[in-house]
C-alpha cells in the first residue's frame, strides 16, 4: 500500500492547479457560465493542450496513458475550482464506454478526437421512469435493414446540449427491467430525429432532455455487443462515481479552507468566530469528514478496475454512500458557519454546496446504495 | 500510489491469521467469542505465546525483541488479533512504556524492564489522571520531593485501569511546584506497586466490573534511578507517550468483530414475526456501519503508510486524532448495535447467580456480555484524551486556530 502520489502525478496536479489558478478564479468562472455553451470553449482547448482530455486513454490513441488515480487527482483539482467544462461526460463517461466496449476502429475514430479537444460527448442513459435503476430502459432500437432505428427519451443528460456525439442506450430486446437486451449506440447529436432541450442545472452546468424519434443508426455505430450493454453502463457509472468522489474531495477542501479563513476574519461579540470552541469543533468535524471522504474516494479509485465484479460493486457502493454523506455534511456545515453570506449567489460557498448536491444524485444517491448494501448483509 | 495490499502483505495477513487460529487457547477464544473481556490470565498467557513467537513487542527494534515489521504489518496484526477475537497486547507495556524507555530510558532501565514488559512478567499501569487533573493533565498535583537518593511521593491518581493487576506503574509527579509553567515542573517515575505506602482502591464502573481504581501514595519512596529522562522534563515524556504511534487506537478489528457477532445473533432473534436479520432498518444500520468502518480502515492505512514512509520519524500525524474520534465512535455504535439486537436479553447481568441457575445459555451470556461491553465502551470517548480534546488538538494542529 502506498498513498503518496508518484512524481509524475505530483507534476500533473501541479500543472492543472497552476492552470486553474490562472484561469479559474470565481469571477472568471462566472463569465464562463454566461457563455452560450455554459462553459468556456477556450478553457476546453487549454485542457487539450495540457493533455487532460486524453488522460485515461492509451498513448496509441493520443492519450496520456493514465488511469483512475490520475482521473481522481485531476477531478480533485476540478472540484476545488468548480470546473464547468464537460470533462466528466466526455473523458470519463463516454471515454470509459468507448475504451471498454469500442472496436479498434471506433476507438481510433473517437479517442484521439476527444484527446485533441475536437469531440465532446455525453452519456445519454438515464430515463425519467428509471430514477436510479440502470437496468430500467424503455427507449427502443429496432432493426431496420442493416441498421437500427431509435425511439424514446433520455433525461438530465449532463452536457447533452453541448455534445457533438451521444452514447445512447436503448432496448433491442427484453422488457423494461431486463438486464439483457440493452444496447449502446453512438449517435451523432445532429442526426435527424434527435431533439435536445437544454436547461440550467443547480450546479451552474447545463443538462438536456433528449428526445429520439425515428433516429437511424448504422450497425457500425453499435458500441459493444448487441443486447449486452448493461455491464458497460455499470462500468461507466462506476468510473463516474470514482471521478465525482475525487471531485467531492476537492470541493470539500475548498469549502473547509474558505470556512476556516472566514472564521478567522469574521468578528462577532468582539472576537473572531474561530475563537469560539463551538465553531472550532464544527470545523474539526468538517475536517474529519473530509478525510474520511478522501479515504472513500481512494477506495472508489482503487476499486474501479478490480476485475472481481462482486467485490468491485460492493466497494463502489460503500464509497458512494460515504462520499455522498461527507459532501452533504461539509457543504451544509460550510453554509451554516458562514451565516447569511453563505446564502448568497455572489459568494462561492453556495456554489460548492449545490455542486455537491448534484454529485450526490449523479449515478444514484446514498440511500440507493445503502439499500443495495443492506440487501447484501448476511 | 498503489492503494492495494501487496501480495506480501496479503500473505502476511494469512500467516498471522493461521498462527492465531492454531495457537490461541480454546478457552480464551470461547470466552471472547461470547463477548467477554479477557481475564488477566488470558491476556498474560496470550502475550507470552506471542512473545515466544517474537510478535509481542510490536513496534520495538529487533534487538529488544521486536518483530521488525512495517507499520502496515503491525496494523494487519492488530486487526487480525482483534477479529479473532484474541486478547490485546497490554498497551501499557507495549505501546506506552516500551517506546518511552527506548526513547528516554537509561541502559539499566531498558535492560531491567523491557524484556519483562514484552513477556508480561511485569504488568504495568499508567498513573496520569488525578481527581483534579483529567483532560487538563498538566494541572496534576501528586508531589515528589527529593530526599537523598529517593523521591518521596504523596498524592493520588484516579481512573487507573488495571492497577489491581499491576506490578509496576509509570507515574507523572510534580517535582517543581514553583516552575514558571505548569508543564515544566513534572517528572516521570517508575514505581514498584509493592512499595510501602501505596493503596489501591477499586472503582466499580457502570458495567458492574472492576477495571478502574484510585491509587493513593502516602510517603512512597522511589529511587531516583527510577526517574525516566531529566527531572522536570516528564511532560516531554508524557507528550511522546500520548503522541507515539497511536494507530492501534481505533481498534477497528473490535468494531468489525462486534458487527459480525450482532449479525450472527440477528439470525437467531425474532423481530415483528420474522428473524431480525430480515428487517430492513436493521440491515441498513449494518450497511451504514460497514460504510463507516471502511472509511476508517482506509484512513488508518493512510496514517500507517505515511508513518512507514517517514521511517517513523517526525511529529505524530494529526490524523491520529481522526482515528481516535472516529474509531471510538464506531466502537460505541457497534456495541450499541449488539445491545439493540439482544433486546430484552440485554438487561440481565451475567454473574454468578445466572451462571449457576441456568443450563448453559450462550445466547443470554453473549447478550449480557454485549451489554457490559456497550457500557464499558462509553469510556472510549473519554480515555486517551476525550474526543472533545481530540477536536481541540485538530483545531490547533490542522486548522491553526
A2 in a structural domain: no
Kindly report the CATH number assigned to the domain that includes residue A179: 2.40.110.10
A91 in a structural domain: yes
| Domain span holding position A287 | 231-376
* B120 in Cβ contact with B43 (< 8 Å): yes
Domains of chain B: 7-89 (no CATH), 124-234 (2.40.110.10), 245-397 (1.20.140.10)
The H-or-E segment that residue B201 falls in is strand B198-204
Is A283 within 8 Å of B287 when comparing Cβ atoms? Answer: no
* B371 in Cβ contact with A261 (< 8 Å): no
Measured CA to CA, the distance from residue A369 to residue A363 in angstroms comes to: 10
* Structure-block grid coordinates of residue B305: 503508510
Q: What percent of chain B has pLDDT over 90?
A: 85
Mean of pLDDT values over A123-143: 98
Measured CA to CA, the distance from residue A321 to residue B291 in angstroms comes to: 7
Q: Are A209 and A109 found together in one domain? A: no
At A290-328, the pLDDT tens digits run 999 999 999 999 999 999 999 999 999 999 999 999 999
Instruction: Tell me which residue in A3, A4, A318 faces B290 most closely, judged by beta carbons.
Output: A318
Q: Are A241 and A371 found together in one domain? A: yes
Is B1 within 8 Å of A3 when comparing Cβ atoms? Answer: yes
Residue B313 predicted with pLDDT over 60: no
Residues 34-73 of B with CB under 8 A from A: 72
Q: Please tell me if residue A378 touches chain B, with a CB cutoff of 8 Å.
A: yes
Is A280 within 8 Å of B392 when comparing Cβ atoms? Answer: yes
Cβ-proximal residues to B333 (8 Å cutoff; 6+ apart), any chain:
B255, B289, B292
The distance in angstroms from the start CA to the end CA of chain A is 29
Q: Are A223 and A115 found together in one domain? A: no
A72 in a structural domain: yes
- Residue ending a domain, choose from A207, A227, A247: A227
Residues 308-337 of B with CB under 8 A from A: 309, 319, 322, 325-326
Predicted ipTM? 0.94
A1 in a structural domain: no
- Residue ending a domain, choose from A87, A120, A153: A120
Q: Are A184 and A310 found together in one domain? A: no
The H-or-E segment that residue A292 falls in is helix A277-303
Place of cell 443470554: B364
B276-303 as b/e: b if 16+ CB within 10 A: bbeeeebbbbbbbbbbbbbbbbbbbbbb
At B231-265, the pLDDT tens digits run 999 999 999 988 775 668 899 999 999 999 999 99
CA B264 to chain CA mean position, Å: 26
pLDDT at B358: 65
Mean of pLDDT values over B44-58: 98
The pTM of this model reads: 0.94
Q: Are A352 and A288 found together in one domain? A: yes
Is B1 within 8 Å of A4 when comparing Cβ atoms? Answer: yes
Instruction: Tell me which residue in A69, A260, A263 faces B1 most closely, judged by beta carbons.
Output: A69
Q: Are A223 and A292 found together in one domain? A: no
Q: Are A100 and A185 found together in one domain? A: no
Kindly report the CATH number assigned to the domain that includes residue A54: 1.10.540.10
At A206-263, the pLDDT tens digits run 999 999 999 999 999 999 999 999 999 999 999 999 999 999 999 999 999 999 999 9
CB-CB neighbours of B102 under 10 Å:
17
Instruction: Tell me which residue in B277, B305, B388 faces A2 most closely, judged by beta carbons.
Output: B305
Contact residues on chain B for A6, CB-CB shorter than 8 A? 1
CA B317 to chain CA mean position, Å: 19
- Residue ending a domain, choose from A81, A97, A120: A120
A200 in a structural domain: yes
Kindly report the CATH number assigned to the domain that includes residue A276: 1.20.140.10
- Answer yes or no: B30 catalytic: no
What single-letter DSSP state applies at residue B93?
I
Contact residues on chain A for B299, CB-CB shorter than 8 A? 291-292, 295
Strands A222-223 and B124-127: unpaired
Instruction: Tell me which residue in A1, A5, A291 faces B322 most closely, judged by beta carbons.
Output: A291
pLDDT band at B350 (very low <50, low <70, confident <90, very high): confident
Structural domains of chain A, count: 3
Amino acid at each position: 500500500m502506498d498513498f503518496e502520489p508518484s512524481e509524475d502525478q505530483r507534476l500533473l496536479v501541479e500543472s492543472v492547479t497552476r492552470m486553474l489558478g490562472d484561469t479559474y478564479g470565481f469571477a472568471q468562472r462566472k463569465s464562463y457560465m454566461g457563455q452560450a455553451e455554459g462553459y468556456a470553449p477556450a478553457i476546453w482547448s487549454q485542457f487539450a493542450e495540457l493533455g487532460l482530455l486524453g488522460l485515461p486513454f492509451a498513448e496509441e490513441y493520443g492519450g496520456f496513458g493514465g488511469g483512475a488515480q490520475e482521473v481522481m487527482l485531476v477531478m480533485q483539482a476540478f472540484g476545488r475550482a468548480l470546473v464547468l467544462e464537460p470533462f466528466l461526460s466526455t473523458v470519463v463517461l463516454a471515454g470509459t464506454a468507448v475504451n471498454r466496449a469500442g472496436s479498434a476502429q471506433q476507438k481510433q475514430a473517437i479517442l484521439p478526437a476527444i484527446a485533441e479537444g475536437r469531440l465532446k460527448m455525453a452519456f445519454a442513459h438515464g430515463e425519467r421512469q428509471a430514477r436510479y435503476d440502470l437496468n430500467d430502459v424503455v427507449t427502443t432500437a429496432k432493426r431496420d435493414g442493416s441498421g437500427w432505428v431509435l425511439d424514446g427519451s433520455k433525461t438530465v443528460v449532463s452536457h447533452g446540449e453541448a455534445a457533438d456525439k451521444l452514447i445512447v442506450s436503448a432496448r433491442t430486446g427484453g422488457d423494461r427491467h431486463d438486464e439483457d437486451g440493452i444496447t449502446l449506440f453512438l449517435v451523432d447529436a445532429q442526426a435527424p430525429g434527435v431533439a435536445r432541450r437544454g436547461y440550467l442545472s443547480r450546479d451552474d452546468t447545463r443538462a438536456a432532455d433528449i428526445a429520439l424519434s425515428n433516429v437511424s443508426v448504422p450497425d457500425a455505430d453499435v458500441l459493444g455487443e448487441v443486447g449486452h450493454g448493461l455491464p458497460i453502463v455499470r462500468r461507466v457509472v462506476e468510473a463516474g462515481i470514482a471521478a465525482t468522489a475525487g471531485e467531492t474531495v476537492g470541493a470539500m477542501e475548498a469549502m473547509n479552507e474558505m470556512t476556516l479563513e472566514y472564521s478567522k476574519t469574521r468578528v462577532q461579540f468582539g472576537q473572531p468566530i474561530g475563537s469560539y470552541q463551538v465553531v472550532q469543533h464544527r470545523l474539526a468535524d468538517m475536517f474529519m469528514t473530509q478525510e474520511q471522504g478522501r479515504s472513500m474516494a481512494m477506495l472508489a479509485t482503487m476499486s474501479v478496475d478490480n476485475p472481481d465484479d462482486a467485490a468491485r460493486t460492493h466497494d463502489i457502493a460503500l464509497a458512494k454512500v460515504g462520499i455522498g454523506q461527507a459532501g452533504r455534511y461539509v457543504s451544509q456545515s460550510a453554509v451554516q458557519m458562514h451565516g447569511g453570506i453563505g446564502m448568497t449567489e455572489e459568494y462561492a460557498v453556495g456554489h460548492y454546496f449545490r455542486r455537491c448536491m448534484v454529485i450526490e444524485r449523479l449515478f444514484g444517491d446514498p440511500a440507493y446504495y445503502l439499500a443495495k448494501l443492506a440487501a447484501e448483509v448476511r | 500510489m498503489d492503494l492495494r495490499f501487496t501480495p506480501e502483505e496479503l500473505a502476511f495477513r494469512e500467516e498471522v491469521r493461521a498462527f492465531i487460529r492454531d495457537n490461541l487457547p480454546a478457552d480464551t477464544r470461547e470466552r471472547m467469542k461470547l463477548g467477554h473481556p479477557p481475564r488477566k490470565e488470558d491476556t498474560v498467557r496470550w502475550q507470552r505465546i506471542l512473545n515466544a513467537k517474537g510478535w509481542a513487542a510490536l513496534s520495538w527494534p529487533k534487538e529488544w525483541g521486536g518483530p521488525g515489521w512495517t507499520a502496515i504489518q503491525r496494523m494487519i496484526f492488530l486487526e487480525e488479533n482483534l477479529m479473532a477475537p484474541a486478547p490485546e497486547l497490554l498497551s501499557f507495556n507495549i505501546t506506552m512504556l516500551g517506546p518511552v524507555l527506548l526513547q528516554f530510558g537509561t541502559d539499566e532501565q531498558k535492560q531491567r524492564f523491557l524484556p519483562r514488559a514484552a513477556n508480561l512478567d511485569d504488568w504495568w499501569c499508567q498513573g496520569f489522571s488525578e481527581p483534579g487533573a483529567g483532560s487538563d493533565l498538566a494541572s496534576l498535583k501528586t508531589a515528589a520531593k527529593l530526599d537523598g537518593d529517593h523521591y518521596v511521593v504523596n498524592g493520588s491518581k484516579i481512573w487507573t485501569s488495571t492497577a489491581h493487576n499491576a506490578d509496576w506503574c509509570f507515574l507523572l509527579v510534580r517535582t517543581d511546584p514553583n516552575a514558571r509553567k505548569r508543564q515544566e515542573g513534572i517528572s516521570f517515575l517508575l514505581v514498584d506497586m509493592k512499595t510501602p505506602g501505596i493503596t489501591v482502591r477499586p472503582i466499580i464502573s457502570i458495567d458492574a466490573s472492576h477495571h478502574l481504581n484510585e491509587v493513593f501514595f502516602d510517603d512512597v519512596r522511589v529511587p531516583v534511578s527510577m526517574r525516566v529522562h531529566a527531572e522536570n522534563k516528564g511532560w516531554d515524556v508524557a507528550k511522546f507517550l500520548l503522541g507515539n504511534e497511536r494507530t492501534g487506537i481505533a481498534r477497528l478489528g473490535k468494531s468489525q468483530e462486534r458487527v459480525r457477532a450482532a449479525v450472527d445473533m440477528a439470525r437467531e432473534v425474532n423481530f415483528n414475526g420474522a428473524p431480525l436479520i430480515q428487517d430492513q432498518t436493521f440491515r441498513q444500520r449494518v450497511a451504514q456501519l460497514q460504510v463507516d468502518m471502511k472509511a476508517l480502515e482506509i484512513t488508518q492505512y493512510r496514517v500507517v503508510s505515511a508513518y512507514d514512509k517517514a521511517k517513523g520519524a517526525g511529529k505524530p500525524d494529526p490524523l491520529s486524532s481522526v482515528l481516535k474520534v472516529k474509531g471510538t465512535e464506531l466502537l460505541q455504535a457497534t456495541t450499541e448495535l449488539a445491545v439493540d439486537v439482544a433486546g430484552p436479553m440485554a438487561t440481565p447481568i451475567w454473574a454468578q447467580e445466572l451462571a449457576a441457575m441456568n443450563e448453559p445459555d450462550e445466547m443470554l451470556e453473549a447478550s449480557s456480555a454485549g451489554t457490559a461491553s456497550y457500557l464499558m465502551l462509553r469510556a472510549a470517548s473519554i480515555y486517551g484524551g476525550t474526543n472533545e480534546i481530540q477536536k481541540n488538538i485538530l483545531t490547533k494542529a490542522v486548522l491553526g486556530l
